Amino acid sequence: CFHITLVKPFYNNLRKELTKMPKVYINDLGLRNVLINYFSPLEQRADKGMVLENISFRLLLERFDQDQIKYWRTADGNEVDFVVETSYLKGFAVEVKFNEQEVKLSKYNKFIQNYPDFPLEFWWWKKMDLMF
Protein backbone atom coordinates (compact mmCIF):
# COMPACT_ATOMS: atom_id res chain seq x y z
CA CYS A 1 0.00 0.00 0.00
CA PHE A 2 1.32 3.47 -0.85
CA HIS A 3 0.04 5.01 2.39
CA ILE A 4 2.14 2.96 4.79
CA THR A 5 5.71 1.67 5.03
CA LEU A 6 6.70 -1.42 6.98
CA VAL A 7 9.98 -1.46 8.93
CA LYS A 8 11.55 -4.81 9.72
CA PRO A 9 13.20 -5.73 13.02
CA PHE A 10 16.97 -5.71 13.51
CA TYR A 11 18.42 -8.69 15.36
CA ASN A 12 21.52 -10.79 15.82
CA ASN A 13 20.02 -13.40 18.13
CA LEU A 14 16.46 -14.23 17.13
CA ARG A 15 15.74 -16.11 20.37
CA LYS A 16 16.65 -13.19 22.62
CA GLU A 17 15.65 -10.33 20.37
CA LEU A 18 12.05 -10.85 19.69
CA THR A 19 9.50 -9.50 17.39
CA LYS A 20 9.55 -10.42 13.79
CA MET A 21 6.51 -8.25 13.22
CA PRO A 22 7.22 -5.12 11.19
CA LYS A 23 6.42 -1.65 12.53
CA VAL A 24 4.04 0.47 10.48
CA TYR A 25 4.72 4.09 9.54
CA ILE A 26 2.30 6.40 7.75
CA ASN A 27 3.66 8.06 4.62
CA ASP A 28 1.32 11.06 4.78
CA LEU A 29 0.68 12.37 8.29
CA GLY A 30 -1.69 15.00 6.89
CA LEU A 31 -3.92 12.24 5.53
CA ARG A 32 -3.71 10.48 8.90
CA ASN A 33 -4.77 13.66 10.69
CA VAL A 34 -7.75 14.06 8.35
CA LEU A 35 -8.81 10.43 8.87
CA ILE A 36 -8.72 10.75 12.66
CA ASN A 37 -9.87 14.41 12.64
CA TYR A 38 -7.02 15.56 14.90
CA PHE A 39 -5.31 18.85 14.07
CA SER A 40 -3.95 20.12 17.40
CA PRO A 41 -0.42 21.55 17.52
CA LEU A 42 2.18 18.86 18.11
CA GLU A 43 3.03 20.05 21.64
CA GLN A 44 -0.62 19.56 22.69
CA ARG A 45 -1.22 16.16 21.10
CA ALA A 46 -1.64 12.92 23.05
CA ASP A 47 0.02 11.09 20.13
CA LYS A 48 2.98 13.48 19.80
CA GLY A 49 5.57 10.75 20.43
CA MET A 50 4.17 8.57 17.65
CA VAL A 51 3.92 11.54 15.28
CA LEU A 52 7.51 12.59 16.00
CA GLU A 53 8.74 9.01 15.51
CA ASN A 54 6.91 8.92 12.17
CA ILE A 55 8.46 12.25 11.12
CA SER A 56 11.88 10.88 12.09
CA PHE A 57 11.29 7.80 9.95
CA ARG A 58 10.42 9.98 6.96
CA LEU A 59 13.63 12.02 7.49
CA LEU A 60 15.73 8.85 7.64
CA LEU A 61 14.01 7.53 4.53
CA GLU A 62 15.17 10.62 2.63
CA ARG A 63 18.80 9.61 3.29
CA PHE A 64 18.74 5.81 3.42
CA ASP A 65 17.07 2.92 1.61
CA GLN A 66 14.05 1.43 3.32
CA ASP A 67 15.89 -1.89 3.81
CA GLN A 68 18.64 -0.10 5.76
CA ILE A 69 16.19 1.22 8.36
CA LYS A 70 15.08 -1.22 11.04
CA TYR A 71 14.01 -1.20 14.67
CA TRP A 72 15.19 -3.25 17.67
CA ARG A 73 12.99 -4.84 20.33
CA THR A 74 13.56 -7.65 22.82
CA ALA A 75 11.19 -10.08 24.49
CA ASP A 76 11.57 -8.21 27.78
CA GLY A 77 10.47 -4.89 26.30
CA ASN A 78 13.72 -3.11 25.44
CA GLU A 79 13.36 -1.08 22.26
CA VAL A 80 15.26 1.33 20.04
CA ASP A 81 13.18 3.18 17.46
CA PHE A 82 15.59 2.95 14.52
CA VAL A 83 18.71 0.98 13.67
CA VAL A 84 20.25 2.10 10.39
CA GLU A 85 22.69 -0.34 8.79
CA THR A 86 25.10 1.69 6.67
CA SER A 87 27.27 -1.39 6.01
CA TYR A 88 27.23 -5.00 7.20
CA LEU A 89 26.70 -4.92 10.99
CA LYS A 90 27.72 -1.26 11.20
CA GLY A 91 25.69 1.90 11.33
CA PHE A 92 23.90 3.95 13.96
CA ALA A 93 20.75 3.85 16.05
CA VAL A 94 18.20 6.55 16.85
CA GLU A 95 15.81 6.84 19.77
CA VAL A 96 13.14 9.51 19.38
CA LYS A 97 11.65 11.37 22.34
CA PHE A 98 9.48 14.47 22.40
CA ASN A 99 11.85 16.30 24.73
CA GLU A 100 15.30 15.83 26.15
CA GLN A 101 13.98 15.17 29.67
CA GLU A 102 12.43 11.89 28.48
CA VAL A 103 15.86 10.43 27.63
CA LYS A 104 16.88 7.78 30.20
CA LEU A 105 20.29 6.43 29.18
CA SER A 106 20.15 3.38 31.46
CA LYS A 107 17.14 2.09 29.51
CA TYR A 108 19.40 1.51 26.49
CA ASN A 109 22.36 -0.24 28.14
CA LYS A 110 21.44 -3.62 26.66
CA PHE A 111 21.48 -2.27 23.11
CA ILE A 112 24.67 -0.25 23.69
CA GLN A 113 26.47 -3.32 25.11
CA ASN A 114 25.27 -5.71 22.40
CA TYR A 115 25.83 -3.37 19.45
CA PRO A 116 28.89 -1.18 20.03
CA ASP A 117 29.21 -0.62 16.26
CA PHE A 118 25.83 1.15 16.28
CA PRO A 119 26.27 4.35 18.31
CA LEU A 120 22.96 5.48 19.76
CA GLU A 121 21.72 8.99 19.00
CA PHE A 122 18.80 10.69 20.71
CA TRP A 123 16.52 12.94 18.71
CA TRP A 124 13.89 15.18 20.25
CA TRP A 125 11.59 17.86 18.87
CA LYS A 126 13.69 20.99 19.53
CA LYS A 127 16.95 19.26 18.54
CA MET A 128 15.41 18.03 15.27
CA ASP A 129 14.33 21.58 14.52
CA LEU A 130 18.01 22.55 14.59
CA MET A 131 19.23 19.43 12.75
CA PHE A 132 16.99 19.65 9.70
Total number of residues shown for the chain:
132
How many Cβ atoms sit within 10 Å of the Cβ of residue 89? 9
Task: Please give the pLDDT value at position 109.
Answer: 95
Strand 90-97 to 120-124 pairing? parallel
Task: Please give the pLDDT value at position 96.
Answer: 97
The domains of the chain are located at 4-131
Enter the DSSP assignment of 18: -
pLDDT tens-digit profile, the chain (132 residues): 689 999 999 987 666 666 678 999 999 999 999 999 999 998 899 999 999 999 999 999 999 999 999 999 988 889 999 999 998 889 999 999 999 999 999 999 999 999 999 999 999 988 777 676
Instruction: In whole angstroms, give the CA distance from residue 82 to residue 92.
Output: 8
